[in-house]
Amino acid sequence: MSGDAGVRGRVAAGVVHLLVERSETLATVESLTGGLVAATIVEIAGVSSVYRGGLVVYATELKARLAGVPEDLLAARGPVDPDVALALAAGGRQRCDADWCVATTGVAGPEPQGDKPVGTVYVAAVGPSGSAVRRLDLAGDRLTIRSGAVVGALRLLTELLPGVPTHHRVAPGR
């Protein structure tokens, strides 16, 4: 692997191996990444013991219908919002019956979405020991922004896993 794909693969391998060690499961809910988180995770050997599945909810109404994001939240804030990202992750965790879920939402470009500039991304993770959301301000073309969102979501999950030794945590970045 090279470039963005190599970074994605290394981070995904770390997450999968940690979840295998912990006997915990993972689900994904994706908007701007369009399945790239899931595709990155399923490249890792042994993933079938931890990955439950995921949702790609690119259309705003599917965020409510399939992932359970409250319609009033979407109407008030739009799809690119930290609370929407958390609701996506919580809904995916419940619907996929997983211990953990990561979610992505944002603007990959080439045009801004409303008042949200290209590169505005929210990643969220929800699990038995808590939840977190992070804003990422990414630069580059669509693939670079989407790749950065994948890495950001998986790194956030690693940070939430309780009892993970520091040497197993993935260094922060984009």
- Angle, CA of 95, 97 and 99, to the nearest 5°: 125
Whether omega for the bond prior to residue 162 falls within 30 degrees of 0, making it cis, is: no
Q: Which domains occur in the chain, in start order?
A: 3-162 (3.90.950.20)
58: amino acid identity, one letter: Y
**Is the pLDDT reported for residue 119 higher than 70?**
yes
3-class secondary-structure state, position 125: strand
**Is the pLDDT reported for residue 167 higher than 70?**
no
**Is the pLDDT reported for residue 1 higher than 50?**
no
Q: How far apart are CA 9 and CA 30, in angstroms?
A: 17
Q: Are 61 and 49 in contact (CB under 8 A)?
A: no
122 sits in which H/E element:
strand 120-127
Q: Are 54 and 28 in contact (CB under 8 A)?
A: yes
Q: How far apart are CA 86 and CA 104, in angstroms?
A: 9
How would DSSP label each residue in 15-80?
A: HHHHHHHHT--EEEEESTTTTHHHHHHTTSTTGGGTEEEEEE--SHHHHHHTT---HHHHHHH-SS
Q: How far apart are CA 107 and CA 53, in angstroms?
A: 23
17: amino acid identity, one letter: H
pLDDT per residue as tens digits for the range 80-105: 999 999 999 999 999 999 999 999 99
* CA 169 centroid distance within chain: 17
Who has greater pLDDT, 167 or 46?
46
The pLDDT value given to residue 165? 55
Q: How many helices (H) and strands (E) does the chain have?
A: 6, 5
pTM: 0.92
What is the average pLDDT value for the chain, to the nearest integer? Answer: 92
